[in-house]
Amino acid sequence: MLQERHDPDGIGSTGPAAVGRPSPPGALRELAALAGVAFNGRQPWDFQVFDAAAYDRILCEGSLGLGESYLDRQWDTSQLDELISRLLKARLDNKLHHSLRLRLLAHAASGYLKNLLHNRQSRRQAHIVGERHYDIGNDIYRAMLDPTMSYSCAYWVGADNLAAAQQAKLDLICRKLQLREGEHLLDIGCGWGGLAEFAARNYGVQVTGITVSREQAALARERLAGLPAKVELMDYRSLQGRFDKVVSVGMFEHVGPKNYRTFFDKARELMDPAGILLLHTIGEYETTTRDDPWIDKYIFPNGKLPSARRLAKAFEGVFTLQDWHNFGPDYDRTLMAWWQNFERAWPGLKGPDYDERFYRMWKYYLQSCAGFFRSGRGQLWQLVFTGSDFRGSYRSVR
């Protein structure tokens, strides 16, 4: 979904603006052409390069160099989301010349070994993503998200705005869980309490939510006051109790491959054997050894997107899979709606806490992720599982 973009820096790619800009190495120019992208070209998604150092950073550091040189204003583009979509869809990482591939593989080796040898999502490290991402300031998230403060993919079938699409997503989840009045729902990774509030108000259930973010917990408790719902600040592995239904939305991306089986085993321990578990997670197109290094460094430390193969191996023999629903393209639209909200709110947000570099970081985050889903490399999955004593047949909900 391409839209007209605000161009505050005058980086439009037509006319004489590109005159005198540094030329790229031939290898980079040829690779970009495979994606229909040019350096200092006339298309709105073309790179506009202001500093030749950007080329070497991209060649030597791949995705990390691409993102960091953007933060350093060494290049820009009028349509960042579409640029990233084209680069990913062309699978340029598989088309690198041998010498360039060796340079990028050498740079990635340390990250691969770190994932292989260490449990980056251990109990001791579980709080890091809360502190570095979710706790940066509720003012940012209030401005960017819909009124429910749902920080996960919306469901756009029949919806024409973000608020309606998020309400549709919350109701879709509740219907898939077959919630009944009086049941006790566990929300693993409850965020700011949007799903807990919706389920308690509309389906008459009791809700326990857990999060590793202090800011999320504080605001969720305010929002849930007077409802049969509570929020605890804890890691999922520390939770005790028994619940009729279990849900986890946008949290599994922080669990990590070394802990997938632990997650499902813990969910089985906590859920009534006759219950239902719904898992809402981003998924990756293929199994990889690490996630995007720029996202890991600046946005979601220690994250790892699951693949279908790793997921299937983790829940095999623990739960019965009843439904696997993919609506990945809806995340493109969700992210671009978040970006539009953020950009509108920026004049009132910018200041000592949020400077221009933060603005560029947040823009790169939201629009590059939109490009990730637009390219088809990113998926959005809702999986429904039932316990060993579930009775009857499960009817998939759309």
Q: Report how far residue 211's alpha carbon sits from residue 214's, in angstroms, rounded to the nearest whole number.
A: 8
Give the strand pairing for 229-233 and 75-76. Answer: unpaired
Shortest CA distance to 119 belongs to which of 239, 298, 315, 259? Answer: 259
Residues 6 or more apart whose CB falls under 8 angstroms from that of 61 comprise 68, 104, 107, 293
Shortest CA distance to 244 belongs to which of 293, 203, 288, 300? Answer: 203
Q: Note whether 190 and 209 are within 8 A (CB).
A: yes
Residues 6 or more apart whose CB falls under 8 angstroms from that of 45 comprise 37, 77, 78, 79, 80, 82, 83, 86
CA 177, 183, 187, 190 torsion-angle sign: positive
End-to-end CA distance of the chain: 23
Q: Report how far residue 67's alpha carbon sits from residue 83's, in angstroms, rounded to the nearest whole number.
A: 12
Catalytic status, residue 174: no
Strand partners for 385: 277, 321
Which runs of consecutive H residues, i.e. helices, occur in 72-210? 80-89, 98-117, 128-129, 138-144, 162-176, 194-203
Catalytic residues: 369
